[in-house]
Amino acid sequence: MHPMGNSYHQERGDVPPPPTGCPVHRDWSPLNADYLEEPYAIAEQLQADHPTFYSEKLGYVVVTEMDELDRIFTDHETFASTNVQDPVYALCPAAQEVLAAPDFNPVGVMSNRPEPDHGRIRVHTRQGFSNKRIKTLEPYIRRRSDELIDAMVGVGSPTEFVDAFAFPLPGETVFRFIGFPQGDDELLKSWCSDRKAFSWGQPTDEQQAELAEHMLAYWRYCRDFTADKRKHRGDDLASELITAHENNPGDMTYQEVESIIYGLSFAGHEAVTALICNSLLCLLNHRDQWDEVCADLSLIPNAIEEVLRFNSSQIAWRRVTTKDTTVGGFDVPAGTGIFMNFASAHRQNDIWDNPNVFDIHRPNANRHISFGKGVHFCLGAKFAKFETQLMLEAVSQRLPSLQLVDQELEYFPNITFRGPSKLHLAWA
Ligand code: HEM
């Protein structure tokens, strides 16, 4: 891993002290066990206490109010996204040594690349995400949903839904979209889980070194895959990107193509797994609304928006200041990490009536910021919503008697992504 320039993951530098006058929270961190288990009541209290504060455990300024989050998202010159893929904590020497390999050189391309390069690269990638192309996935998702439900039904109730359905399908879908060969799905899925721990978790030194080995292997895989695709094109995003590079090498480099593939294979995967699980948690905990959805599939799109507000699969994101500025009214120097806490903002009662109530009919459910905002707005938002819609259609039509089994939910310790590790479901 190379500390400077455009490297995809950058080492965390010195942690700045709290800005003058900014309230300091000594105990709270998004990695605290109680917050991982149930963040919303705590998130609401944090905002009520201090809308902007400094978290000593994170070393970031935490912003909780929607207006300020909107402002930060839309001012990409002052608040850069260059830190969004970086490990939260400094890497141990063993992990640093692994990532110092000269061929570990992915570059920031989309979520973590500043303008104007970001816009230049996004134009090419956006073409691959046309509505038409997303729609071509429909037969695959419908067929695989049915196959996975058949397998669940074959084994019988109850089932563990993450392993049976929610984990395999989003991975497979985005891997076919990119063009990865089917035989590599398991390997790719395990590397993606490692990415979550590496960039957004708090691994021990030993775990960090092991994760670093996996990141290196994952990057080398993406490079070999891109080289192979160059020789054997298909009807997939990777082939399109390679062709776009060849048509205009000055506009998008080959290394940028490799790096897009490295980034996208993660981006399109686990947040969707979490979204389908969180959707079922919300709906099955509100039986009347589940029954409504089973009877009328046209309610699903707004139900998904409400899940993205009420129990999102992404509850925070990061930025870093590029110059001296103010945040929440406090002067902050250049280089300050900003932790954008969506969980607090998504329960604001000046935006939503009764924000702690889950309501699939809510007219402004889609005012959430789960996909970000501004120039980096999630490129896969339509893709993720379409996929989740098809999956919910299949599950609700095949298993309307679905219900939650009494269970304690566990959440993988990380600062941003949120969905249960296991979800036990039963049906009649
Ligand atoms: C529920 C699922 C998903 C959630 C909650 C989510 C959320 C996000 C968020 C918060 C960002 C950062 C936005 C910002 O900085 O303003 C982002 C960026 C991005 N997402 Fe997603 N995402 C999801 C699914 C996907 C999928 C399925 C794909 C692709 C197949 C994808 C591809 C991307 C890409 C490429 C970016 C970077 C865009 C840019 O910087 O121009 N995401 N996503």
* Cα end-to-end distance, the chain, whole Å: 52
CA of 112, closest atom in ligand 1:
40
383 lines ligand 1 (CB under 6 A): yes
CA 378 to ligand 1 center in whole angstroms = 3
Kindly give the pairing relationship between strand 337-341 and strand 316-321.
Answer: antiparallel
CA of 274, closest atom in ligand 1:
1
CA 101 → CA 91, 175, 214, 219, distances in Å?
A: 15, 26, 13, 11
Query: Which residue's alpha carbon is at the smallest distance from atom 41 of ligand 1?
Result: 376
Model confidence at 4, in pLDDT bands (50, 70, 90)?
A: very low
Model confidence at 1, in pLDDT bands (50, 70, 90)?
A: very low
CA of 275, closest atom in ligand 1:
1
Query: Which residue's alpha carbon is at the smallest distance from atom 13 of ligand 1?
Result: 372
**Residue 116 in this model has a pLDDT that exceeds 80:** yes
275 lines ligand 1 (CB under 6 A): yes
Q: What is the 3-state secondary structure (H, E, C) of 11-72?
A: CCCCCCCCCCCCCEECCCCCCCHHHHHCHHHHHHHHHHHCCEEEECCCCEEEECCHHHHHHH
CA of 312, closest atom in ligand 1:
5
Stretch 204-225: mean pLDDT, rounded?
Answer: 95
Query: Which residue's alpha carbon is at the smallest distance from atom 40 of ligand 1?
Result: 111
CA 406 to ligand 1 center in whole angstroms = 32
Range with the poorest average pLDDT among 3-17, 337-351, 352-366: 3-17
Residue 133 pLDDT:
85
Query: Which residue's alpha carbon is at the smallest distance from atom 20 of ligand 1?
Result: 378
79 lines ligand 1 (CB under 6 A): no
Stretch 127-154: mean pLDDT, rounded?
Answer: 93
**Per-residue model confidence as pLDDT tens digits over 74-115:** 999 999 999 998 999 989 999 999 999 999 999 999 999 999
Stretch 40-66: mean pLDDT, rounded?
Answer: 97
CA 390 to ligand 1 center in whole angstroms = 19
Cβ–Cβ under 8 Å, residues 339 and 200:
no
In the chain, domain spans: 24-426
Q: What is the 3-state secondary structure (H, E, C) of 134-197?
A: HHCCHHHHHHHHHHHHHHHHHHCCCEEHHHHHHCHHHHHHHHHHHCCCHHHHHHHHHHHHHHHH
274 lines ligand 1 (CB under 6 A): no
CA of 388, closest atom in ligand 1:
1
209 lines ligand 1 (CB under 6 A): no
**Residue 131 in this model has a pLDDT that exceeds 60:** yes
CA of 383, closest atom in ligand 1:
27
Model confidence at 126, in pLDDT bands (50, 70, 90)?
A: confident
CA 380 to ligand 1 center in whole angstroms = 5
CA 24 to ligand 1 center in whole angstroms = 30
Tokens of 39: 């963040």
**Per-residue model confidence as pLDDT tens digits over 390-414:** 999 999 999 999 999 999 999 999 9
Query: Which residue's alpha carbon is at the smallest distance from atom 36 of ligand 1?
Result: 378
**Per-residue model confidence as pLDDT tens digits over 304-314:** 999 999 999 99
CATH class given for the domain over 24-426: mainly alpha
Asked whether the bond before 116 is cis by omega within 30 degrees of 0, the reply is yes
Mean of per-residue pLDDT scores for the chain: 94
CA 304 to ligand 1 center in whole angstroms = 16
Q: Residue 326: enclosing H or E segment and its boundaries?
A: strand 325-327
Cβ–Cβ under 8 Å, residues 171 and 189:
yes
